[in-house]
Amino acid sequence: MVLFIQHIDIEGPGTIADFLEDNAIPYVVVDLSQGDKVPKLEKDFHSVVCLGGPMNVYEEEKYRFLKEEDFLLKRIVDEGVPFLGICLGAQLIAKATGARVIKNPEKEIGWYKIVLNENGLKDDLFKDLPEVFKVFQWHGDTFGIPYGGKRLAFSELCQNQALKYGRNICGIQFHVEVTKEMIARWADVYKNELDSLEGLVSDRQKMLDDYAALEKDYMRQAEQFYVNFFTTAGLLKKKFFSF
């Protein structure tokens, strides 16, 4: 079973859940913003996916669940449970493994190119993916690479786009799971943030237009990424799914 840790209702598992359903892999979603408790690490959890959110990892006084979540993530690392952190989730796993999380020099919101470095090109997480490809971004912070970890990808505006720690602990700053509907919803809910950065980042309509233009490649890349991660996690034996 896959455990999803969700931090706000509008940032759910998206196309990852579609992938798991189509491959008959069970999952459960725990939404901390809705009062769900940080779960214990059960034997039934064969993989954990930690999703995004508008909070910062250092806001533990405002979001009390972050401290409990940090304890859970440290145990996940200690026990080697396959883990994928997305955006905030990647920052949280970086913090749990001893790296710093700070403000990025510039916010990335919209569609940007990322580049796989030598480590990324060799890592199974990015198997059969191009060296350079476009992803959806929405973040203001950035994570460091923990001691003993590896950087796998970078972008022009943010040097740390993907990390690997040990065999099964992965974090990506960008989003692979978003749908057109999710992007539109985020643009509405986070409108004040977009308005405050007018002229510096993509606006709502451009993000949706870019999605339409990139959808085919984006979905194919997402599928390959899911195949890679869940195969490494031991939950997928061969490729069955197609967007």
**Residues acting as catalytic residues:** 87, 175, 177
User: Where is 28: in which H helix or E strand?
Assistant: strand 27-31
Q: Are strands 132-143 and 101-116 parallel, antiparallel or unpaired?
A: antiparallel
- In one-letter notation, the amino acid at residue 194 is L
Q: Could you give the CA distance from residue 171 to residue 174 in angstroms, rounded to a whole number?
A: 9
Handedness of CA 13, 18, 22, 28 (dihedral sign): positive
Q: Which two three-digit tokens encode residue 13?
A: 């598992």
Hey, how many other C-beta atoms are within 10 angstroms of the C-beta on 230?
A: 24
Residue with tokens 């993989």: 47
Side-chain half-sphere exposure of 23, counting CA atoms within 13 A: 24
Task: List 84's β-bridge partners, or say none.
Answer: 49, 170
- In one-letter notation, the amino acid at residue 147 is Y
DSSP class of residue 6 equals E
Task: List 2's β-bridge partners, or say none.
Answer: 27, 47
Backbone angles phi, psi at 30, to 5 degrees: -110, 115
Q: Could you give the CA distance from residue 229 to residue 225 in angstroms, rounded to a whole number?
A: 6
